[in-house]
Amino acid sequence: DDESCEIRDGVLGCINQNPCKALGCRPRERCNLEDGQAKCVPSLVASCWAWGDPHYHTFDGLDFDFQGTCSYTMAKFCGNDPTLVPFKVEGKNHIRGGVKSVSYISLANIEVYGQLISIHWREVGKVRVNGVLTLLPAVLQDNKVQLYQSGMTAVLETDFGLRVTYDWNWHLVLDLPSSYSEQTCGLCGNFNLQP
């Protein structure tokens, strides 16, 4: 039993010893106690990526190849949980060299908090924020979105755990916490942990 009860002045009073029980976390979240406060935290972070010409790996571990040359939704929030922050990540493929059947990631577009951040092929050290070429590092939306360079990779991190990296060449990676499990759609899958 998670409650301790006692009678004081003829009145029965009970204290819930487990604040996590009442919190009701989402699937694939767990409750953490921080300074006596119950808080839901993701139980895992999954990665999805596109690399090469191009190969894809979903949040759920499925690998596939797809040679289209348009812009494609990698992942976006497709759920109805109003407490989750909506986002969308697109990858645009283009043909390099003379082989028309081979395409590579050439652009990553990330929409979050009303901002459009674009990371273009070969624009090393820079991103475009709502169309404006911006040198890294940069901070948006009162520190909710951080943009920086790590080695030869552009990194976007949000306060809710979305992390997008693109090497300005051919490797795009999305990391997403399991709070978004079964709340996504796109080439990265629906994040239900079933390939």
**Same domain (yes/no): 107, 12:** no
* pLDDT of 8 above 80: no
Q: Kindly state whether residue 190 falls inside one of the protein's structural domains.
A: no
* pLDDT of 158 above 50: yes
**Same domain (yes/no): 38, 109:** no
**Same domain (yes/no): 11, 73:** no
**Same domain (yes/no): 159, 122:** yes
Residue 76: CATH number of its domain:
3.40.1000
**Same domain (yes/no): 51, 138:** yes
pLDDT of residue 180: 98
pTM of the model: 0.87
**Same domain (yes/no): 153, 164:** yes
Percentage with pLDDT > 70 across the chain? 91
Q: CA nearest 127: which of 113, 104, 146? A: 146
Sheet holding 45-51, edge to edge: 63-65, 55-57, 45-51, 171-177, 163-166, 153-158, 145-150, 138-140
Overall domain count for the chain = 2
- Full residue range of the structural domain in which residue 37 is found: 3-42
**Same domain (yes/no): 74, 140:** yes
Instruction: Summarize pLDDT for 16-69 with one digit per residue, the tens.
Output: 567 787 788 998 999 998 887 899 999 999 999 999 888 999 999 999 998 888
